[in-house]
Amino acid sequence: MGCNVMCGIWAFLGHNAGNYVVKLTPWLIHRGQEGVSFVCRVNGSFMKVGDASTVASTLCLGHARYSTSGPYGVELQPIVLGNDFALVFNGTITNYVDLIRVLRGLGVDVGVNYDALVLAHYMRELLVRLGVDDGIRELFRTVRGGYSIIAIWRDSLIVVRDPWGFRPLVIGGDGNGIAIASESAALEALGMAWREVEPGKALVLRGSGREYWVDGPRVRRAYCALEYIYFLRPDSQFNGISVYEARRRLGMALARKEAVHDIDFVSPIPETARIAAEAYASGIGKPIHELVVKNRYAGRGFIKPPGERSLDMYGVVKSAVRGASVALVDDSIIRGDTLRKILPKLRASGARAIHVRVSSPPIRYPCFMGMDFPTRRELVAHGRSIDEVREYLGANSLVYLTVDELMDAIGTTELCTACFTGNYPFTVNIDDAEKAFTGGRSW
């Protein structure tokens, strides 16, 4: 099965690299709460460690893991192949099964069929057989999916962002060296200037100090809408757009749709819906109260392994709820697990009415580019009308944004909206992809 990974990746090339990658870690851990691991280049070999701060190295990679399918809790990255190749990657390789067949034709047995491992073997084979430049071009040509990659190949550091631009990736640095990270906020936190790696571009940093770019194909951009809605830190930027401002505009768009006048106050579902909720409350002229309280030590619910998603992470302020008509604002509804736990608590606490407002469209189709919902059956909105979702959740009313409203609020039409519309940026057979990413086939 696939082991697509929505995660945080980062690297440093330069003096005291181990210390730098450790300093970057807190700013990216929200992207992968299952664990953090590092690999450093030391005397021509790789050293994989849990703490890189004491490692004497000029080149280290970091990875924070959140599995989007496959073996939760298994440390998969950084991937090290021999003494010449190491890789960290963020995303999902949609056609990883095709790449397995190619590798087998070349006599390479990957062993365990996880897409990150398949990608690592495939990329290394391309570099060995075609050289760096042509190998990268062939990677761009043949690999479909969302991928941001940082790889060490012999004496070179290679940084790659897929042609569609699904996942974020930035590069910057200071006087001591060059840093690469999933999010701009991480580099800003260390006082570094930065720029985004453009979609369909690869940066090659040679050990000799030579630096150059390799271009991939030009395709229509498809930036992941859920990065803006949920995943990114609000103090990051993605494709030149402030995540904070995008979420604020999403909340304002919700406010413009409001038709219910009997609302006493607004409450966000913590944490990532807070910005949209504040803008929504301001737009409808109602106060905002934190009625739903999350256990801040429980991590992010959506990216938890399946066995932990049923754990209750939320409490409610009963004294404030009694007799009130409440508008609950959430950034998205995927499986409906969170709201199905919270709404009964609000009812039991005496809420007169509960109106659910969502700062994104209904998620009706699976993601094969890096988010953790690879099947239709797990999505609460798949096969249900909005009113049927409302009834399932137990809300008095339910309002979503439309795809057009989402694009207008974020400020670009160059978004991947496949999870809302079923229209993928490239050809995907949904039935086959679901089986590939849920263990339904043996390859």
Three-state helix/strand/coil letters over the chain: CCCCECCEEEEEEECCHHHHHHHHHHHCHHHCCCEEEEEEEECCEEEEECCCCCCCCCEEEEEEECECCCCCCCCCCCEEECCCEEEEEEEEECCHHHHHHHHHHCCCCCCCCCHHHHHHHHHHHHHHHHCHHHHHHHHHHHCCEEEEEEEEECCEEEEEECCCCCCCCEEEEECCEEEEECCHHHHHHCCCEEEECCCCEEEEEECCCCEEEEECCCCCCCEEHHHHHHHCCCCCEECCEEHHHHHHHHHHHHHHCCCCCCCCEEEECCCCCHHHHHHHHHHHCCCECCCEEECCCCCCCCCCCHHHHCCCCEEECHHHHCCCEEEEEECCCCCCHHHHHHHHHHHHCCCCEEEEEECCCCCCCCCCCCCCCCCCCCCCCCCCCHHHHHHHHCCCEEECCCHHHHHHHHCCCCEECHHHHCCCCCCCCHHHHHHHHCCCCCC
Q: What is the pLDDT of residues 38-94, one digit of tens each?
A: 999 999 999 999 999 999 999 999 999 865 444 545 557 999 999 999 999 999 999
Cβ atoms of 137 and 119 closer than 8 Å = no
Mean pLDDT of the chain: 93
Q: Where are the domains of the chain?
A: 8-222, 228-424
What pLDDT is stored for residue 68 in this prediction? 46
Cβ atoms of 294 and 313 closer than 8 Å = yes
What pLDDT is stored for residue 267 in this prediction? 98
Identity at 400, one-letter amino acid code: Y
What pLDDT is stored for residue 112 in this prediction? 74
Instruction: Confirm or reject CATH 3.60.20.10 for domain 8-222, answering yes or no.
Output: yes
Catalytic residue from among 3, 7, 40, 60: 7
pLDDT higher than 60, residue 23: yes
Residues 6+ apart with CB under 8 A from 363: 332, 333, 334, 373, 379, 381, 419, 420
What pLDDT is stored for residue 64 in this prediction? 94
Scan for tokens 């995660």, then name that residue: 7
Average of per-residue pLDDT across 26-44:
93
Question: Annotated binding site for [4Fe-4S] cluster, which residues?
Answer: 224, 367, 416, 419
Cβ atoms of 144 and 223 closer than 8 Å = no
Residues 6+ apart with CB under 8 A from 75: 35, 37, 65
Buried b (16+ CB within 10 A) or exposed e, 219-230: eebbbbbbbbbb
The rounded distance, in Å, linking the Cα atoms of 231 and 282 is: 24
Highest average pLDDT, of 27-36, 57-66, 209-218, 400-409, comes from 400-409
What pLDDT is stored for residue 65 in this prediction? 82
What pLDDT is stored for residue 209 in this prediction? 81
The rounded distance, in Å, linking the Cα atoms of 26 and 20 is: 11
Give the lowest-confidence range in 292-296, 304-308, 384-388. 304-308
What pLDDT is stored for residue 371 in this prediction? 93
Burial class (CB in 10 A: 0-12, 13-18, 19+), 109: exposed
pLDDT > 70 in the chain, percent:
92
pTM, rounded to two decimals: 0.92
pLDDT higher than 50, residue 3: no
pLDDT higher than 90, residue 309: no
Fold of 228-424: Rossmann fold (3.40.50)
The rounded distance, in Å, linking the Cα atoms of 41 and 55 is: 9
What pLDDT is stored for residue 443 in this prediction? 33
User: What is the token pair recorded at 135?
Assistant: 């190998």
The rounded distance, in Å, linking the Cα atoms of 154 and 146 is: 25
Average of per-residue pLDDT across 402-424:
99
Average of per-residue pLDDT across 346-371:
98
Q: What is the pLDDT of residues 92-130, one digit of tens each?
A: 999 999 999 999 999 999 887 789 999 999 999 999 999
User: What is the token pair recorded at 440?
Assistant: 């339904």
Q: What is the pLDDT of residues 202-258, one digit of tens each?
A: 999 997 789 999 999 999 999 999 999 999 999 999 999 999 999 999 999 999 999
The rounded distance, in Å, linking the Cα atoms of 107 and 35 is: 33
279 pLDDT tier (thresholds 50, 70, 90): very high
**Whole-number Cα distances in Å, 194 to 170, 190, 325:** 7, 11, 46
7 catalytic? Reply is yes
149 or 6: which leads in pLDDT? 149
The rounded distance, in Å, linking the Cα atoms of 122 and 128 is: 10
Average of per-residue pLDDT across 265-277:
97
Q: What is the pLDDT of residues 183-197, one digit of tens each?
A: 999 999 999 999 999
- Report the half-sphere exposure of 330 (CA within 13 A, side-chain side): 25
